[in-house]
Amino acid sequence: MRRKLVVGNWKLNGSLSENKVLIASLLKNLNTIQTTDFAICVPYTYLFQAQALLTGTNIFWGAQNVSQFRDGAHTSSISAHMIADFDCSFAIIGHSERRALSNESNQKAAKRFARVVNAGITPIYCVGETAEERAEGLAENVVKNQILAITYGLDESTFEYAKQVDMVIAYEPVWAIGNGRTASPQQAQDMHAFIRDLIAKIDADFSKRVRIIYGGSVTPDNALALLSMPDIDGGLIGRCSLIAEEFSQICHLAS
Ligand code: PGA
């Protein structure tokens, strides 16, 4: 039985004072739930605050990306080892907004993925097709190539590390992100099952325990139907993660 995981992706939002209020509400609303994992992925500047407020609680924290480099002359970049200093449990990798903004290829996302697992942090590796790709019948092919980049595209020892840190996959159809247009539970389930089958071809045991979470306009209204599907192990939540009541409701539904 896979434990459900609900992750808030704060994106480019927050301030020290707002975060304090939001985190206090989440702690109050979620402190009795022991059966589900929760996390918030915050902007780098708030990792210290998240660490200070969440250490010893049942909410994990993480970052929204890392550099593909370990260190060196890469102005403005942040490495996996730097976020490890703040006890991050998770790092989102390959989010479609990053892929679009910086023209990120699957190979580059895979390098970031490798940095994260080598730092002992759990990557939440995002995959998903655009509306055009789905309309052309290419959705499965696009997702397959994204998954192959972090499986066959990496050396065996990196994939072993990825299993050890319980890597997470987030299926986020690009057409469903941030616009209120969510995938139907069956559409999402079909893609999650497809991803699990792909992973089974590499490691059948691991495919049974890898968590595949869904993201794209998840709200308290649609969360239960999505999270009840057999291969949907949780959610990656954008807009609703900024509203304590809504995020907490989704977490309660997941548990
Ligand atoms: P959304 O964002 O919930 O606002 O659609 C999800 C995400 O981008 O991770």
pTM for this structure? Answer: 0.97
Reported as a single tens digit per residue, the pLDDT across 46-67 is 999 999 999 999 999 999 999 9
218 CB within 6 A, ligand 1: yes
Residue range 111-128: average pLDDT? 97
Q: Whose CA is nearest to atom 1 of ligand 1?
A: 238
Q: At what angle do helices 106-118 and 139-150 cross, to 10 degrees?
A: 40
Q: What is the pLDDT of residue 201?
A: 94
Which residue lies with its CA nearest to atom 2 of ligand 1? 238
Across all residues in the chain, what is the average pLDDT?
A: 96
Annotated active-site residue 172? The verdict is yes
Structure tokens at 18: 């707002």
Q: 187 to each of 31, 191, 210, how far by Cα in Å?
A: 33, 7, 19
Over the stretch 137-194, which tens digit does the pLDDT of each residue have? 999 999 999 999 999 888 889 999 999 999 999 999 999 998 888 899 999 999 999 9
Q: How confident is the model at residue 153, as a pLDDT?
A: 86
Ligand 1 within 6 A of CB of 92: no
Q: Identify the structural domains of the chain with CATH numbers, from first to last.
A: 5-254 (3.20.20.70)
Portion of the chain with pLDDT greater than 70, in percent: 100
CA atoms within 13 Å, Cβ hemisphere of 237: 28
- Whether residue 102 is predicted with pLDDT greater than 90 in this model: the reply is no
Digit-coded pLDDT (tens) for 181-199: 889 999 999 999 999 999 9
User: Can you tell me the mean pLDDT for 228-237?
Assistant: 98
The pLDDT value given to residue 237: 98
Q: Quick one: tokens of 237?
A: 């939540």
What is the per-residue pLDDT for 178?
85
pLDDT at 227 over 90: yes
111 lines ligand 1 (CB under 6 A): no
Active-site choice (129, 172, 192, 246): 172
* pLDDT, position 49: 98
The pLDDT value given to residue 179:
86
CB of 172 closer than 6 angstroms to any ligand 1 atom:
yes
Closest CA to 229 of 195, 206, 203: 195
Query: Is 178 close to ligand 1, i.e. is its CB under 6 Å away?
Result: yes
Q: Is the pLDDT of residue 125 over 90?
A: yes
Q: 217 C-alpha to center of ligand 1: Å?
A: 6
